[in-house]
Amino acid sequence: MIEESGRVITIENDVAWIEVQRKAVCDTCSVNKGCGTGVIAKVVGNKRFRIPVNNSINARVGDDVIVGISDDMLIKSSFAAYMTPLLMLFLGAWVGENVAHFIELSSSEGFSTIFGIGGLCAGFFWLRRFSNRIAKDGRYQPILLSRIDGQGEYNQQRVSYHENPLGNGLK
């Protein structure tokens, strides 16, 4: 499980809006000066963002909390976001090259490029539909795990991912 700390900013019905500060682990890495990710992290900075989370632990505005998301779901959604458009690009380019050879063109670059761009667009279209579908799937949503008391310790009331209030049996 991936966990991150945040602060409850507002509560609307049963939804707590949590403000989380994006953290780059680059400061602890030994090669951060020569890494492209480290350079990008310095430019983008540690920005804050807000996420809606089901208020399963009855957190109040101002509470520091721990938010978690399943490792498996994060990996699956990341794979879909990065690999599907890329694979569709390559598949489209391959199809374009084969079409060019089938109609006996002397050069296949144009067809490969056009079909590759078409495949990339198809991959992005699929990704948009996938994103809309998982936005409603509780397995892909973060949950509140616990409160953090004033000394930075976890509160004893800690929700297990198996006790997800959405009732979808997350692991």
Q: What is the pLDDT along the chain (171 residues), one digit of tens a residue?
A: 888 889 999 999 889 999 987 665 555 666 656 666 666 666 666 677 888 999 888 889 999 999 998 889 889 999 999 999 999 999 999 999 999 999 988 888 999 999 999 999 999 999 999 999 998 888 888 888 988 876 555 554 555 544 444 444 443
Same domain, 136 and 109: yes
Residue 25: the pLDDT is 56
Same domain, 98 and 148: no
Q: How far apart are CA 8 and CA 144, in angstroms?
A: 10
Same domain, 146 and 62: yes
Same domain, 111 and 123: yes
Domain count, the chain: 2
Same domain, 74 and 135: yes
Indicate whether 1 belongs to any domain. no
- 48 bridge partner residues: 21
**What domain range is 52 assigned to?**
7-66+142-162
Residue 124: the pLDDT is 97
Same domain, 135 and 158: no
Residue 19: the pLDDT is 92
Q: C-alpha distances in angstroms, 59 versus 88, 89, 149?
A: 43, 45, 12
CA nearest to 169, candidates 136, 122, 137, 126: 137
Q: How far apart are CA 146 and CA 59, in angstroms?
A: 9
- Are β-strands 48-54 and 15-21 bridged in parallel, bridged antiparallel, or unpaired? antiparallel
